[in-house]
Amino acid sequence: MARDAARRQGRGLSVAQVAEKVAEAAGRERETQQQLDAPAETEIGPFATDPEHLAELWAAKHAEWQRIAALLETSGEQAYDPEQDPQGVVWAKEREARRQGAVDRHATWMRERQDAKDELRAQVWLPADTSRRLRAIAARAGVQPEQVLAQLADRVQMNEDGAVVVAPFTPRCEERT
């Protein structure tokens, strides 16, 4: 976050302005570290910022502004251009790749959730004689009784008058996905 923020905020800043950013970040880093080291005088509320996170963030921002200042000094450029920052460009690409990966994983998860909503899982209690017939059919076909029921459900149709019918079929060992 610190790298990304510095790249965005630093665009077009002069060497002197970057030096001001370094000084500001150093001061904020000191302040947040002092707050972290001092005993808590008040209880932290539910909407308060995590002091450890804030201290780490300012330390990272300070380091990034120092890096940008050093880059300007070594390159001789008068203003910061994020596109001319080789390390910054690499980090930005890595960050974008991580972001895109997260977006892709989320999209996959959402599709799986939708597929799961479309699935039906049922527990069926059958009378003993029906259960015995189903087990015998499944055994002859070399499949589990649940697979016979799933194949039966795949083939079920409804007539115009609302009657449920299934054409005769032979249960087969199929891969279910």
Q: How confident is the model at residue 165 (pLDDT cuts 50, 70, 90)?
A: very high
Please say which residue of 38, 60, 84 terminates a domain.
84
Exposure of 121 in the CB half-sphere (CA atoms within 13 A): 3
For residue 38, give its domain range.
2-84
Residues contacting 67, CB < 8 A, separation 6+: 87
Same domain, 19 and 71: yes
Domain boundary pick from 84, 109, 130: 84
The tens digit of pLDDT for each residue in 64-104 reads 999 999 999 999 999 999 999 999 999 999 999 999 999 99
Tens-digit pLDDT profile for residues 18-66: 999 999 999 999 998 888 787 665 555 665 677 888 889 999 999 999 9
